[in-house]
Amino acid sequence: MFSILLQSALLLPQGVVGATPPSLEIVTPNSDFLREITAQEAETSNWSGAADLGLTFVSGNNESSNSAANLTAAWASGLNVVDLGAHYAGTRTTDAATNNASTTSRLYLYDAAYNRYFSTEKNFYGYATGSSRENEPNGLQMRNTIGLGLGYTYHLYENATLDLEAGSSYVAENKVGTLSDSSVVGRGAYKFATPIYESVDFTGAGTYLKGGDIETYEQDLGVNWALNATWSLVASYNIAWDGNPSAGFSSTDRRFNLFLSTKF
């Protein structure tokens, strides 16, 4: 009889006196799982880039308009980095007395570079680079380059780097009024970037090519003032020097531009 009563008590439904209350188990998500999801959501794209646009009008004895635009993009994954760029700068001047207009500068520049670092420290690397430059009003119809070499990145201090590169390039160029020329040349280059004050950064880059009858140096300096997370003002100073310019053309072309820039 006692065994029958015990079995009946064990089978009592919930809510009946004498029934054992059910246990409640609360399942909480694993904290490592939550961190993993947060990290995946915070992960950014391998691509980054910027677009710059500048436009200036001048009037008086002579009227002129200056325009410039830059589009740059970078892709980075592991030990691989790819940089792409397209640049334009033009100046057109009108004589107020004669109303004659002439284009004194019209630069088209396209460049690409691939860097492969040899270690996770991202110091020593090999590179492949190519570019195409044209500025016919300043005597250069075309200069195409492609080259290989080695580079080293110095991590100077927080957010400041210096890249030094050395190698060789094949250059094919055609200048106004002269025959085309091509040669294998030596190449030396540098890139420098550093913050100088809170939201203000300074960048510099230069490339020197020399071999045969070809000798040229290009330099770009810039100051970037970040207005917010997306927009910034950029002032740049650019030099293109040709050791053997065409007859009637200056060896050095200088440009100063002020851009409104956005990142993407």
Contact between 135 and 143 under an 8 Å Cβ cutoff? The reply is no
Contacts of 62 (CB under 8 A, 6+ apart): 93, 94, 95, 96
- What is the pLDDT at residue 10? 42
- pLDDT bin (cut points 50, 70, 90) of residue 77 is very high
Q: What is the pLDDT of residues 124-178, one digit of tens each?
A: 999 999 999 999 998 999 999 999 999 999 999 888 999 999 999 999 999 998 8
pLDDT tops 70 at residue 242: yes
Only one residue has tokens 């000798």, namely 215
CA distances from 139 to 21, 94, 171, 173, 232 (A): 94, 20, 17, 11, 33
Domains of the chain in sequence order: 52-263 (2.40.160.40)
Q: What is the pLDDT of residues 83-136, one digit of tens each?
A: 999 999 998 888 777 778 888 889 999 999 999 999 999 999 999 999 999 999
Closest CA to 233 of 243, 223, 244: 223
Only one residue has tokens 């055609």, namely 174
Contact between 128 and 113 under an 8 Å Cβ cutoff? The reply is yes
